[in-house]
């Protein structure tokens, strides 16, 4: 997916949230706890991405980006997962022949603002979704 295509993704995929609610509905609101845990952990995940990128920690950055991508996909945070996927691709491609302590801070400068903004928007929508149920 091209970086410009990521912005075409919805912030939230309602079908994923509906499926999560249906699959976990019999468990006394477990789906709400799952979504609330995602919301609570999202600042920690984005901070880990920021910290590992700005310090040139390639292994840590890859772990942080994969965590952000996977957790986003699980709650239907499509745009956030897409941004993480795009960053993952860049990490894999650009760190092959370059020094991580140079490449990663540049990727942080290029990508972090958009990821953090998207995380905030996603959190807002998920909170609204939880309170509407």
Q: Average of pLDDT values for 30-50?
A: 94
Q: Given a cut of 60, is residue 3 above it in pLDDT?
A: no
More confident residue, 133 or 2: 133
CA pair distance 12, 9, nearest whole angstrom: 8
Res. 8 pLDDT band, cuts 50 70 90:
confident
| CA–CA distance, 65 with 111 (Å, rounded to integer) | 12
Distances (CA, A) of 21 to 9, 28, 62, 98, 117: 22, 11, 30, 44, 26
| Residue 122 burial class via C-beta count within 10 angstroms: exposed 0-12, middle 13-18, buried 19 and up | buried
Percent above pLDDT 90 for the chain: 67
**Helix 100-132 vs helix 30-54: angle between axes, to the nearest 10 degrees?**
160
109-126: average pLDDT: 96
pLDDT in tens, 64-96: 999 999 999 999 999 999 999 999 999 999 887
Contact between 95 and 103 under an 8 Å Cβ cutoff? The reply is yes
């Amino acid at each position: 997916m091209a970086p410009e295509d990521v912005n075409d993704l919805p912030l939230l995929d309602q079908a994923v949230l509906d499926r999560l609610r249906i699959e976990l509905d019999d468990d006394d609101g477990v789906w709400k706890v799952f979504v609330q845990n995602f919301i609570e952990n999202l600042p920690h995940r984005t901070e880990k991405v920021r910290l590992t990128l700005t310090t040139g920690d390639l292994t840590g950055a890859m772990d942080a980006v994969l965590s952000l991508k996977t957790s986003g996909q699980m709650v239907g945070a499509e745009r956030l997962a897409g941004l993480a996927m795009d960053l993952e691709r860049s990490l894999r491609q650009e760190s092959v022949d370059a020094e991580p302590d140079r490449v990663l801070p540049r990727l942080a400068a290029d990508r972090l603002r958009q990821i953090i903004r998207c995380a905030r928007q996603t959190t807002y929508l998920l909170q609204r979704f939880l309170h509407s149920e």
